[in-house]
Structure 1
Amino acid sequence: MKRPFTRRDFLAMSAKGVGAAVVSYGLMGCSSDDDDNNGIYAEFLHGLASGDPSHDAVILWTRVTPKRDGEIKVSWEVATDAAFTQLVSNGETMTSGDRDYTVKVDATGLEAGRQYFYRFKTGNKTSQPAMTKTLPQGAIDSAKFAVVSCANFPAGYFNVYEMASRMDDLDAVIHLGDYIYEYARGEYASERAEELGREVLPEGELMSLSDYRTRYGQYRSDISLQKLHGKTPFITVWDDHEVANDSWRDGAENHNEGEGDFDARKEAALQAYFEWLPIRPWREGNHEEIYRSFNFGDLVDLHMLDTRLLGRDKPLDYAEYMDPATGGLDSARFMADITDTNRTMLGQDQQAWLQTALLTSTATWQVLGQQVLMGQMMLPAAIATQQLSIPEFGQLAALAQFAARKAAGDPTLTADELKYLSFYGHKLTPEAMALLQLPSIPYNLDSWDGYAYEREVILATAKSQTKNLVVIAGDTHNAWANELKDAAGDAVGVEFATSSVSSPGLEYYLGIEEKDIAATEAAIVDLVDNLAYTNLMNRGLMTLTFTHEEVRTDWRYVDTIYSRDFTEDSERNFSMVTKAGSHGLIAAS
């Protein structure tokens, strides 16, 4: 028999941060809703959502939209059946403009590994029902997640969310950040926003609490996002655009002079995040700490990290290491800074918490849910510093190889290779040859490549206990699969990164034409050590299916984000598998 939820349980959970949500103990008797809520009529226009499931609890969320300001009474019901004849929890609370009319309920005392139905009521309005589920406990055979990130409202329709909402076998949706974007109307990836009817609200860049609340309200009006929230519990972390582009602990690339105090902006942004997302805070009023773990039986321990706002030092910038006289990179100074043992992305407290979690966990798989790529993405310096494009580098490298073979008298040079050399050999200038001879350096200093020492600490922790380590990432708007190796070259784990919901990727930034995508993807996989897969073009998600023997990752893409009439792009879909104990990647059928 399941033990009843007690006041001692409540006090213990309050210490872990459930105080910011109304705690639902179980059945509380009949609701006393007034028919008209004292004359303040309200509707449920932003759907329902659930999140942060545990073995016996889950956060339930909604927002009411009142006809005029004032306090609104809202009640809820949780049942084991869609008809709500088998109620297990109910209650009522008040909401107001102080919390943007959002409601968060921590439904406790539930059974592990079970699906539930829930709904809200206010006055004479009843919301559509929604579904959620608790985490399984003990021995389990499998678990499956959809992983999403980077949804830019004006860039296109949220067809990726729609695709995920049609999946019936998910245990949770893991959202790795950039749930919203902070840019003003007409800015980043807004070329077709007016045509699609997706111009952002408010019109300006987000600065105040009201601004962020309005933008969340617009996002949550999207029917595809509402469908997904209403079907599967979310486990979320933020990235940078929930505040401002390329954020760190004390600032952001997109927070400029004249835009006020960054800390005040960040505080407003994170308050809105906690109001609008079904996330359980550590304690009431704490809107900064979101690292936490979720235990899926004896199979998966999911550790969600904040690599962005809590402890991150300011990202390095290659521009600060370029010699203005020679145009070259000051390699010695750059390497000294990037390998600084004091340089942190997580911060001391979060790093210690993660190490303890990794060392003490007994689940088959240890999964790090976080924002940015952990795998080393080392590219030739000429490419990383954008002095040469990938095609230009490839052409020069081929020409240099042909020239060297010709000078050595290589008899295997073909007529076509000699002809190619005669046509384009003039490009092998001394300047070009110097660029080819530059070493490989990190491509993206905003990722773990810019925080190399701390990455080694994490990998060493997992390696010391021979953990089955899986890292998942978003942020780049492209899909990746990496084999994670430490500085000694030892395989420690694998990394899977998801594409974006709608934000454009490298094909946008580098101007890669569709006809050149496959060749460019192959070139990058060839150039980057330990990189097994990339997709540089398509919007999509990935699903992770865990068993005790393996984890399978399926990257799934939509054929368009510019029409609600879309199909799954099965020709671009791809799957990989890693076996327990192997730390390697193989393509799956």
Structure 2
Amino acid sequence: MSDNNDFRRRTLVKGIAAASLLPLLGSNLIACSDSRDLVPEPAGVAAQFNHGVASGDPLADRVILWTRVTPDEEGFVDVEWEVASDEDFTDIVRSGAGVTDAAVDFTVKVDVDGLAPGTSYFYRFRVIDRVSPVALTRTAPAGAAASAVFAVVSCSNYPTGFFNVYREVALQEVDAVLHLGDYIYEYAPDGYASSNAEALDRVVTPATEIVTLSDYRARYAQYRTDPDLQAAHAAHPFIVVWDDHEIANDTWREGAENHDPDSEGEFSERLASAIQAWYEWLPVRPPANEQEIIYRLLPYGDLLDLVMLDTRVIGRDQQFVYPDFVTGGVIDVAATRAAVSDSRRTLLGETQLTWLKDKLTSSNARWQVLGQQVLMGRYDLPSPVLQALEPSIAGDDPLAEGVAAVLAAVAAKNKPPAERTPEEQALLDSAIPYNLDAWDGYGFERDEVLEFVAQLDKRMIVLAGDTHNSWASQLRTTSGQVAGVEFATSSVTSPGLELVLGADAAAFFAPLMTTLVDDLVYADFNNRGYLTVRFEPETVTAEWRYVSAIDSRDYVLNEEAFHQRIVNHSDLVLS
């Protein structure tokens, strides 16, 4: 099965009709067995393990194991797997075998059960006499848990630079890696952030924008040959959600900014292909039903409930862009505010929102953690700042205009309200959302979630990616009640605001943003890196770590850029 009519008959008619995909998304899952009677008559097709191994979606008694084999010839490949308590495999605790073939791009998944909670295990695969690399995974704890540590990553564009961030993550002691999307990018070799790709020998394949199932499979295959990405997967279980670039830029449920139906076909077919490849190539447990195609809950004992969401595809209405609100060459502030606060707009969709509320209500863990794609915090900026940065209406020197607007707004913000001039107050009163592609563009639903959490008196920590920049924000209801904290990670390679502003201006703007945005505590617009979040019963500690370079495999951790923020369970106030 590939890009043929058989597959097309199963594609989506409008958005995601998940039931039509369910038979495909678990088709590379082989049986879990502890039998030592593996395959009585092997098919004899040998294979290489060119794409490494991986594990994911850990629960207290089970974990997904993954590999992809590259066969020496076409046909069915019999694959054995083993899980052991020791690296030498003298104590094998689970084992089994199954078959893979071209229908699932020779990928293999095993949902290994019968494991002990909070325990590290070694695993490997075998095809005839060829053995995969040995890798390490870990189950989630059960009952009382003293701590849990996650590395949080996002946005790894292969042609932009080396995956040094993944190499660093591989070296860390964490319970799991949360990948919050943009695991791959869909662009052609001359696309986004690819100017240095040829010099780095990181030109993407295939040599076109990826649209078909075979295209997406080929792009994943290239990414998964990267040694640093393989190392991170081999060191830790991953918990993954998609964002837009696993499909196409600025995806929503019925389309994407980077999709042209006239030249690229029905978006529903592209979406189905992207989702199938995503499930084939990543260590994600197949969905149990047509509702929970990506969103899911993973408990970590009594310490936290990790709630993974889809804020990108399943329920999302089409995002606004600022040219939608330009009148007479300026942004219409009132129209912008009215549009983004429309009660009919949804980011999650009714089904997922109901599911989220149910999981939050029933959670008895110390912390409720949302792992999702886009910023939830309120990032309102004076409209002249955003206008200067919007290409369709920016002036001749947008950076100078933006700097002037920011400095004027900061000066006004630093004055007591009684001392501000009418012009200064008007500037501050013109604030509108910075990022219409994030929760800011779906304000009514964001406020509904925050109000719900505040009324439940839960301890919510939100984790985000997407922007390629680092953020830490207090989450409050419209009345100012504390509802949670948000930590957002930088990117693995994708450029942040330094690409738009320049490195000096980006460094200049970041601390000023914490003045202009009331709930923003920390921002970094220049560095590539990752986030670690340590959960303990009384505190959550977030630490941003950055690499010094992505254009060379020689790098160091940029210790001068390290930043740490702490949240206390008693008050949820970010310090």
Tell whether the structures are fold-level matches, with TM greater than 0.5: yes
Q: Alpha-carbon deviation of 1:391?
A: 1.5
Q: Alpha-carbon deviation of 1:487?
A: 0.7
Counterpart-to-counterpart distance in 2, 1:70 and 1:148? 36
Partner of 1:6: none
**Contact persistence 1:73–1:93 (CA under 8 A):** yes
**What is the identity, as a one-letter code, of the residue corresponding to 1:348?**
E
**Cα offsets for 1:31-83 (capped at 9, x unmatched):** 5474xx43x33100000000011111111000100122211111111111111
Counterpart-to-counterpart distance in 2, 1:552 and 1:108? 32
Q: SS of the counterpart of 1:203?
A: coil
Which structure 2 residues correspond to residues 114-513 of structure 1 after superposition, within 5 A?
114-167=119-172, 169-256=173-260, 257-283=262-288, 289-323=293-327, 326-386=328-388, 387=394, 389=399, 390-396=402-408, 436=427, 439-510=430-501, 512-513=502-503
**Cα offsets for 1:61-106 (capped at 9, x unmatched):** 0010012221111111111111111111111111111000000111
Counterpart-to-counterpart distance in 2, 1:128 and 1:496? 34
**Contact persistence 1:26–1:108 (CA under 8 A):** no
- For residues 239 and 261 of structure 1, do their structure 2 counterparts lie closer, same or farther at Cα, with a shift above 3 Å needed? same
Q: Alpha-carbon deviation of 1:340?
A: 1.4
**Cα offsets for 1:252-292 (capped at 9, x unmatched):** 010124221100000000100000000012148x6982000
**What is the identity, as a one-letter code, of the residue corresponding to 1:220?**
R
**What is the identity, as a one-letter code, of the residue corresponding to 1:509?**
V
Q: SS of the counterpart of 2:199?
A: helix
Counterpart-to-counterpart distance in 2, 1:86 and 1:399? 66
Q: Alpha-carbon deviation of 1:397?
A: 5.2
Q: Alpha-carbon deviation of 1:110?
A: 1.1
Counterpart-to-counterpart distance in 1, 2:357 and 2:409? 43
**Cα offsets for 1:109-137 (capped at 9, x unmatched):** 11111111111111221111111111100
Partner of 1:545: 534
Counterpart-to-counterpart distance in 1, 2:160 and 2:570? 41
- For residues 396 and 237 of structure 1, do their structure 2 counterparts lie closer, same or farther at Cα, with a shift above 3 Å needed? same
Q: SS of the counterpart of 2:67?
A: strand
Q: SS of the counterpart of 1:258?
A: helix
Partner of 1:25: 33
User: What are the ranges of 5 or more consecutive residues in structure 1 without an aligned counterpart?
Assistant: 1-13, 411-429
- For residues 401 and 166 of structure 1, do their structure 2 counterparts lie closer, same or farther at Cα, with a shift above 3 Å needed? closer
Q: Alpha-carbon deviation of 1:567?
A: 0.6
Q: Alpha-carbon deviation of 1:22?
A: 1.9
Q: SS of the counterpart of 2:457?
A: coil
Q: SS of the counterpart of 1:194?
A: coil
Counterpart-to-counterpart distance in 1, 2:303 and 2:409? 46
Partner of 2:550: 561
**Cα offsets for 1:113-164 (capped at 9, x unmatched):** 1111111111221111111111100001111000000000000000000000
**Contact persistence 1:292–1:303 (CA under 8 A):** yes
Counterpart-to-counterpart distance in 2, 1:239 and 1:21? 23
Which structure 2 residues correspond to residues 16-95 of structure 1 after superposition, within 5 A?
21-29=29-37, 32=40, 34=42, 37-38=43-44, 40-95=45-100
Is 1:529 the equivalent of 2:518? Answer: yes
Q: Alpha-carbon deviation of 1:433?
A: 8.5
Q: Alpha-carbon deviation of 1:392?
A: 2.0
Counterpart-to-counterpart distance in 2, 1:401 and 1:266? 45
**Cα offsets for 1:393-439 (capped at 9, x unmatched):** 1445589999x99xx9x9xxxxxxxxxxxxxxxxxxx9x98994760
- For residues 84 and 382 of structure 1, do their structure 2 counterparts lie closer, same or farther at Cα, with a shift above 3 Å needed? same
**TM-score, normalised with respect to structure 1:** 0.87
Give the greater-gyration-radius structure (CA). 1
Counterpart-to-counterpart distance in 2, 1:261 and 1:160? 36
User: What are the ranges of 5 or more consecutive residues in structure 2 without an aligned counterpart?
Assistant: 1-21, 389-393
Is 1:113 the equivalent of 2:118? Answer: yes
- For residues 549 and 395 of structure 1, do their structure 2 counterparts lie closer, same or farther at Cα, with a shift above 3 Å needed? closer
Q: SS of the counterpart of 1:146?
A: strand
**Contact persistence 2:375–2:488 (CA under 8 A):** yes
Counterpart-to-counterpart distance in 1, 2:257 and 2:157? 18
**What is the identity, as a one-letter code, of the residue corresponding to 1:276?**
W
**Contact persistence 1:155–1:193 (CA under 8 A):** yes
Of the structure 1 ranges 434-443 and 483-492, higher mean CA displacement relative to structure 2 is found in 434-443
Counterpart-to-counterpart distance in 2, 1:230 and 1:252? 33
**Contact persistence 1:382–1:435 (CA under 8 A):** no
- For residues 469 and 400 of structure 1, do their structure 2 counterparts lie closer, same or farther at Cα, with a shift above 3 Å needed? closer
- For residues 340 and 66 of structure 1, do their structure 2 counterparts lie closer, same or farther at Cα, with a shift above 3 Å needed? same
Counterpart-to-counterpart distance in 1, 2:206 and 2:503? 33
**Contact persistence 1:344–1:454 (CA under 8 A):** yes
C-alpha RMSD of the superposition: 2.5
**Cα offsets for 1:319-342 (capped at 9, x unmatched):** 11211xx22333443333211112
Q: SS of the counterpart of 1:385?
A: helix
Q: Alpha-carbon deviation of 1:18?
A: 6.7
Partner of 1:423: none
Counterpart-to-counterpart distance in 1, 2:132 and 2:386? 51
Q: SS of the counterpart of 2:310?
A: coil
Counterpart-to-counterpart distance in 2, 1:460 and 1:277? 34
Counterpart-to-counterpart distance in 1, 2:407 and 2:308? 42
Counterpart-to-counterpart distance in 2, 1:365 and 1:401? 34
**Contact persistence 1:267–1:287 (CA under 8 A):** no
Partner of 1:574: 563
Q: SS of the counterpart of 1:195?
A: coil
Of the structure 1 ranges 519-528 and 264-273, higher mean CA displacement relative to structure 2 is found in 519-528
**Contact persistence 2:182–2:245 (CA under 8 A):** yes
Counterpart-to-counterpart distance in 1, 2:550 and 2:60? 36
Counterpart-to-counterpart distance in 2, 1:375 and 1:437? 18
Counterpart-to-counterpart distance in 2, 1:464 and 1:539? 37
**What is the identity, as a one-letter code, of the residue corresponding to 1:237?**
V
Counterpart-to-counterpart distance in 2, 1:227 and 1:53? 18
- For residues 96 and 329 of structure 1, do their structure 2 counterparts lie closer, same or farther at Cα, with a shift above 3 Å needed? same
**Cα offsets for 1:150-194 (capped at 9, x unmatched):** 000000000000000011x21100000000000000111011100
**What is the identity, as a one-letter code, of the residue corresponding to 1:119?**
R
Counterpart-to-counterpart distance in 2, 1:130 and 1:162? 15
**What is the identity, as a one-letter code, of the residue corresponding to 2:176?**
A
